[in-house]
Amino acid sequence: MMRASFSRVLVAAAAVAAAAPCAAAAQQTPAAPARPAQPGPLAAAYRQRADNLIDRALADSAAFRRLTVLVDRFGSRFSGTQNLESAIDWVLAEMRKDGLDNVRGEPVMVPRWVRGQESAEMVAPRRQNLPMLGLGGSIATPPAGITAEVLVVGSFDELTRRAAEARGRIVVYDAPFTTYGETVRYRTNGAFEAARVGAVASLIRSVTPFSMRTPHTGSMRYDSAVARIPHAAITVEDAMMLHRLQEQGVRPRVTLRMSAQTLPDAPSRNVVAEIRGRERPDEVVVLGGHIDSWDVGQGAMDDAGGVVAAWEAVRLMKELGLRPRRTVRVVGWTNEENGLRGGNGYRDAHRAQVTDHVLAIESDGGVFKPLGFGFAGTDSAFAMARQVGTLLDRIGAGNITRGGGGADIGPIMALGVPGMGLNVDESRYFWYHHTEADNISMINPRELAECVATLAVMAYVIADMPERLPFGAGPATAN
């Protein structure tokens, strides 16, 4: 009864454009404004410079080439790995070559979870390998693995109804994808909910609307009041198969082997570079993404693309000789995926200057075709942002909607800094999210260049315009 056809899940994919892009940061759905914004005097004053930024961004594939080097040379960039620190070293060196100001790594300690060897196999009623990925933070199984009959449920409600059947079994959550924010609960909370009713391990159907038998990893958590059990993701196809077998009256058995370890915290850095403002250098527009990724794939879409788009946006300002009135600061936050230490560390390191943060912009929904921004701030700030958005209408990226932000800028937004998340066509984002398939081959150079243009125009105009964007969280972040 909980099974969904692929046609249905593909429809769900189209509806998920507004869902939270990464990690556990569930965002609200942006609501379309009543009327399109019309260009006013502010837009007129910046039209030429905005056009120059857009034309320059779209003139070549510089951003894509830079992204290619980052992901091919350093690969996945998981917290606590040499890959991540080597990638950070390279980005900092390139930023210095670009001639950006105050290029630095700001130290942050990050958690270190190591996946190790892992596997899942159905051993009855027949043997079949189940492609899987342990979920970040999970404990290991004993070395011989855990072999148990599975109990497949379609929801937490069903688990509650069937709690008496769960003891000693591996609970499999076959919850079809609706929105990321809703479905990700099985990944985040599935282990302790299963352990509470006596399960020995738990598996989730990967959190995705589309699958080519690809498992998706991601973060999870334990509840200190409940036993810790191993928690992993299997594919959509295999979760559905186990569910069908159970409905046929078969009782499948699975062997799960995981050797994951949590090691002591390791040093990492937030990547920071600036163009210092020419009149009010202490006032700052921050833009960026997260430099870390999961330990699978290349993390090209999530979120090397976001970091490179923001970095290229700032480099283009430099190249065009556009030094704004206020400082623009590009940040590649570390450890977004399994700890958010970078975003929290940035807030702590800059707490004394938080009211000098004019705006924080994050790109962490993939670098697909940009549509505009989701905005969180006061009504007057929103009106100004919509004005700037009209400068992006020519590339279809001027739609500024209420409600937005990002996981890494969330900590400073909570202190009143207006925030924006780059909105893109996310219809394919969750197909690749946290998988081996998050690879540069699925990124379109033109769409990436449009993301660069979109970030550059918004950040530059807000940093340069005579009147400061009003501070304050505003109504949309009241939840």
Comparing CB distances to Zn ion, the nearer of 101 and 303 is 303
Provide the minimum distance between the beta carbon of 311 and Zn ion in the complex, in angstroms, as a whole number: 16
How many residues bind Zn ion (CB under 5 A)? The answer is 4
- Binding part of the chain for Zn ion, among 22-30, 39-47, 127-135, 339-347 by CB under 5 A, reads 22-30
Mask for 398-427, x = binds Zn ion (CB under 5 A): ------------------------------
Report the candidate in 61, 71, 91, 68 with the shortest Cα–Cα distance to residue 451: 61
Mask for 318-357, x = binds Zn ion (CB under 5 A): ----------------------------------------
Mask for 363-402, x = binds Zn ion (CB under 5 A): -x--------------------------------------
Provide the minimum distance between the beta carbon of 301 and Zn ion in the complex, in angstroms, as a whole number: 8
Q: How many CB atoms lie within 10 A of CB 232?
A: 29
Provide the minimum distance between the beta carbon of 217 and Zn ion in the complex, in angstroms, as a whole number: 12
- Annotated active-site residue 312? The verdict is no
Burial of 333 (0-12, 13-18, 19+ CB in 10 A): buried
Could you say which of 336, 426, 447, 450 is catalytic?
A: 336
Residue number, nearest CB to Zn ion? 22
Comparing CB distances to Zn ion, the nearer of 22 and 310 is 22
85 binds Zn ion (CB under 5 A): no
Residues 283-322 that bind Zn ion (CB under 5 A): 302-303
Provide the minimum distance between the beta carbon of 374 and Zn ion in the complex, in angstroms, as a whole number: 15
Provide the minimum distance between the beta carbon of 478 and Zn ion in the complex, in angstroms, as a whole number: 25
Among 4, 12, 22, 191, binds Zn ion (CB under 5 A): 22
Comparing CB distances to Zn ion, the nearer of 274 and 364 is 364
Comparing CB distances to Zn ion, the nearer of 299 and 389 is 299
Mask for 189-228, x = binds Zn ion (CB under 5 A): ----------------------------------------
Comparing CB distances to Zn ion, the nearer of 218 and 230 is 218
Provide the minimum distance between the beta carbon of 297 and Zn ion in the complex, in angstroms, as a whole number: 12
Provide the minimum distance between the beta carbon of 103 and Zn ion in the complex, in angstroms, as a whole number: 23
Q: Which sequence positions are flagged as catalytic? A: 336
Q: Contact positions toward Zn ion, by CB under 5 A?
A: 22, 302-303, 364
